[in-house]
Amino acid sequence: MSIATVFEIALAAVVLGLAIWTIAVPETYSATVGFVAYGLLVALIWVRLDAVDVALTEAAIGGGLGGVVLLGAAARLRDAEATAAERPDRSTRLIAAILSASIAAALAFAILILPDYAPTLAPAVVANAGATGMANPVTNVLMAFRGLDTMLEKVVLLLAVVGVWSLASDRAWGGRPGPRHEADPNGVLAFLARLLPPAGIVVGIYMLWTGADHPGGAFQGGAVLASMWLLVIMAGLADTPPVSSRWLRFILVAGPCLFLVVGLGGLCFGAAFLAYPVAFAKPLILGIEVAMILTIAATLALLLAGAPERNT
């Protein structure tokens, strides 16, 4: 057994331990903290699987923004825990355990008997990378070969925003999402919120730019930008914009809109819908990604902020 294998087994054991903790620990808040740690360690697994793009996404979302959403909810729901219904009785739990274990066993079985010759599209992706002029194969798949999925996924994000906003009370419609954050303007949080964002914005843009040839991309960069915006909001230096704001609406649709327009352009000037003319492929894709990073940052931040709550 090599050192790498020992490390991997230890990593898997710790991840599983955290997963069990997340499911089994009585207090919801502790479970949530466990899940955030779990998300960060799963990002390490992704690095071990040589999927750095996914690792970045998982760390930014699973451990990062997703963790913030869940922790925020856990903190707000702390009082409700006492009134919560009782756990199902012992026999129900036993049956559930047996059935879940059977499903997991079936899945493990299916994984272990996957054929020795693994089918792959990696050579095809690498061979066609010239069409976009970008060296990061994942970005190529996301933006060129499976562009429709990526565009629809952005619509899913937008619908999530519509869904969250639709939960506002009629009185608060058009107002600002989330509670107002009052913080000491000379406090340490405000200090951090002034110091960090410039650096964070540079990091976010760098992740977008480097995503063309190395791991990174609009989503990972957008998550960094979103967290910077949230930091500024939480420090009380800025307020969330009202949902009726016109510029906010435009930013939220900018990414998918440009994607759609470029896709239709491919219909007129290129080979097909969502095809990029080879000469302009890279600038076009980067253009879409720039619009997308803004959209993603705004969307993620607003999903975290929640439904409109107040008109002032």
Partner 1 sequence: MMATPSALATTTADLLLVLLIVVPVAGVLLAFALGDRYVRRVAFTVIPVGLAISGGVLLALPQNDGHLVYLLGAWPPPLGVALRADGLSAVMLAATAIVVCAVAIFAAADFRLAAGYGRAPFAFWILLLAVWAALNTIFVGGDLFTLYVALELLTFAAVPLVSLEGRAETLQAALRYLLFALVGSVLYLMGTALLYGLYGTLDIVLLSHRVSAEPGALIAAALMTTGLLAKTALFPLHLWLPPAHAGAPAAASAILSGLVVKGSFFILLRVWFNVLPGVPGFAAAQFLAALGAGAIVVGSIVALRQQRLKLLVAYSTMAQIGYLFLLFPLALDASGRLETGQALAGGLIQAISHAAAKAAMFLAVGSIYAGLGHDRITGIRGAARALPLSVMTFGLAGFALMGIQPSGASLAKELLLQETARTGQWWWAGVLQVGGMFTAAYVVLVLAHALSPSDQPVALVAKPPRGSGLAALALALCSLLLGLLPWEPYLPITYTVESKLFGDEALVKFLVTVFGGAALAILLSPWPHPLAFSAAGKTIMQLIAPLRRTCIGLGSLVETGDGVLRQWSTASISLLLVALLLAALMFAAN
Partner 2 sequence: MNLARDIMTIACVSTGAFFFLAGTVGLLRFPDTLTRLHALTKADNLGLGFVVLGLLPQAEGLRDGLKLISIWMFALLAGATVSQLIARAVRRSGAR
Partner 3 sequence: MSSVSVFGLCAAAAVGLGLYGLITNPQSLRKILAFNLLGSGVFLLFGIVGRRGAAAGVGNDPVPQALVITGVVVAFSATAMAIALLLRLFHTSGSTTLGSRAPTSSRSDAPGG
Burial status of residue 159 (CB atoms within 10 A of its CB: 0-12, 13-18, 19 or more)? exposed
Cα 246 from Cα 228, distance rounded (Å): 22
Contact assessment for residue 139 and residue 292, using Cβ atoms and an 8 Å cutoff: no
Which one of partner 2, partner 3, partner 1, none is in contact with 9 (Cβ closer than 5 to 8 A by kind)? Answer: partner 3
Which tokens go with 192? 């951090």
Q: How far is the CB of 231 from partner 3 (least distance, A)?
A: 18
The nearer residue to partner 3, 70 or 284, going by C-beta atoms, is: 70
Interface characters, 106-145, with partner 3 (x: CB under 8 A): -xx--xx-x---xxxxxx-xxx---------xx-xxx--x
- Applying CB under 8 A, the site for partner 3 has a residue count of 96
Tokens of 18: 């955290």
Closest CB to partner 3 among residues 77, 271: 77
Residue pair 21/34 in contact (Cβ under 8 Å)? The answer is: yes
Which of 12, 48, 81, 88 is close enough to bind partner 1 by CB under 8 A? 88
Least distance from partner 3 to the Cβ atom of residue 49, Å: 5
Secondary element (H or E) of residue 23? helix 3-24
Q: Report, in Å, the least distance between residue 199 CB and partner 2.
A: 7
Q: Is 301 in the site for partner 3 (CB under 8 A)?
A: no
Extract the tokens encoding 180.
Answer: 């107002």
Interatomic CA distance for residues 106 and 93, integer angstroms: 20
Residue closer to partner 3 (CB basis): 190 or 229: 229
Contact 276, 144 (CB under 8 A): yes
| Residue 189 contact among partner 1, partner 2, partner 3, none, beta carbon within 5 to 8 Å by kind | partner 2
Asked if 255 and 212 count as a contact pair (C-beta separation under 8 A), the reply is: no
d(CA 87, CA 92): 9
Gap between the Cα atoms of 251 and 7, Å rounded: 44
User: 280, 263, 281: which is closest to 272 by C-alpha?
Assistant: 263
Q: Does 162 bind partner 1 (CB under 8 A)?
A: yes
Nearer to partner 2, 178 or 197 (CB): 197
**To the nearest whole angstrom, how small is the minimum distance from the Cβ of residue 29 to partner 3?**
10
Query: Minimum distance from CB of 142 to partner 3 (Å)?
Result: 5
Binding stretches for partner 1 (CB under 8 A): 88, 92, 95-96, 99-100, 102-103, 106-107, 109-111, 113-115, 118-121, 124-125, 128, 144-149, 151-153, 155-156, 158-160, 162-163, 165-170, 173-174, 244, 246, 249-250, 252-253, 256-257, 260, 263-264, 266-267, 270-276
